[in-house]
Amino acid sequence: MIGNDIIDLSIARLENKTNNPRYCKKVFTGKERDIIEAESDKEKMLWTLWAMKETAYKAHQRRFNLARKINPLDYECDSESIVNIGEWKYKVEVDRNEHYIHCSTTQDNLQSYIYPSLEFLFENFLTDLREQNIFRHDEIGVVKNRYGIPSILDKTNSETIPFSLSHHGKFTAIVIPLINC
């Protein structure tokens, strides 16, 4: 099941969360706080773990159709690629550079797209999908279901493939599974 999260480091770094122990205690388990403390760039590690947890949360919530919750402590990163929630494990792929952190789940074969602005977001996304022949047909559009979960609709055969969208600062990241295509 898909989930993804993007962090614009130019915004996140300003929040200086590593110097806010109350915040850290509400969001990160003892084990996660140890992982953060062990790093030289603590702020970047903190936001990496946040993005991993958020990614696993989105995938887990979709997988079981769960009501929304603010429960970051229930999701624990046990390394830089695995997040545990109860008995479930999510493998998360982390893509980081000096500008952003992007995490996505890797259960499915996923294709990621990162856009530097919100302008013509879906138009650009659809153009990229068509140019890369991700779908068999070019007649595709974006639809949302009643839970607000967005999908690509293949208008030729009415198939829908849900995608996951994350937005932070100037960046928007979209991941879409390549299965069923």
Interface residues with another protein (CB under 8 A) are 12, 15, 22-23, 26-27, 50, 54, 68-73, 148, 168
Lookup result for tokens 């932070």: 168
Give least dist CB 22 to another protein, A.
6
What is the CA 141 to chain-centroid distance, rounded?
21
Distance of alpha carbon 106 from alpha carbon 103, whole angstroms: 9
- Across the beta sheet with 100-105, the strand order is 4-8, 100-105, 88-96, 82-85, 75-77
Nearer to another protein, 33 or 129 (CB): 33
Q: SS3 of 31, please?
A: helix
Give least dist CB 24 to another protein, A.
10
Nearer to another protein, 27 or 175 (CB): 27
Phi, psi angles (nearest 5°) of residue 85: -135, 110
Give least dist CB 163 to another protein, A.
18
Nearer to another protein, 54 or 76 (CB): 54
From the CA atom positions of the chain, what is the Rg in Å? 17
Give least dist CB 97 to another protein, A.
19
Nearer to another protein, 26 or 155 (CB): 26
Distance of alpha carbon 27 from alpha carbon 1, whole angstroms: 23
Nearer to another protein, 75 or 135 (CB): 75
Give least dist CB 101 to another protein, A.
12
